[in-house]
Amino acid sequence: MSIMAQTLQLAFKVALVWAGGFVLAVAVRALLPDKIGLNFYGSGGAVFVPYSRIGFWTCLLAAVTVTALVVIRAMLVDFGLRQMH
């Protein structure tokens, strides 16, 4: 497979992961109520974080993590390391 084909395949994978992450994040944000969540207590008082926001940022963090792993794997293959199956 040529370098251009591999680059296009990598770009397509990254785009799919980001699209899936955004769709999942928006669905989680829409489905979970804003009134239920976690309270974090500190010296300045309590901070309320709704579950819908936790789910949203978790989905986006997953998309970033998968993107980083795919890019690192592609870089390692490009540097000459063999793929492990």
Residue range 28-85, pLDDT digits in tens: 778 877 788 888 898 888 888 888 787 778 877 888 888 888 778 777 877 876 655 5
Q: How much is the pLDDT for 83? A: 56
Query: Mean pLDDT across the stretch 10-26?
Result: 82
Query: Mean pLDDT across the stretch 10-16?
Result: 82
Q: What angle do CA 48, 51, 57 make, to 5 degrees?
A: 100
Total residues found in the chain within this entry: 85
Q: Are 74 and 10 in contact (CB under 8 A)?
A: yes
Q: How much is the pLDDT for 68? A: 84
Determine the Cα–Cα distance for residues 6 and 69; give it in Å rounded to an integer: 15
Torsion over CA: 52, 57, 60, 61 (sign): negative
Radius of gyration of the chain (CA): 19
Q: How much is the pLDDT for 82? A: 62
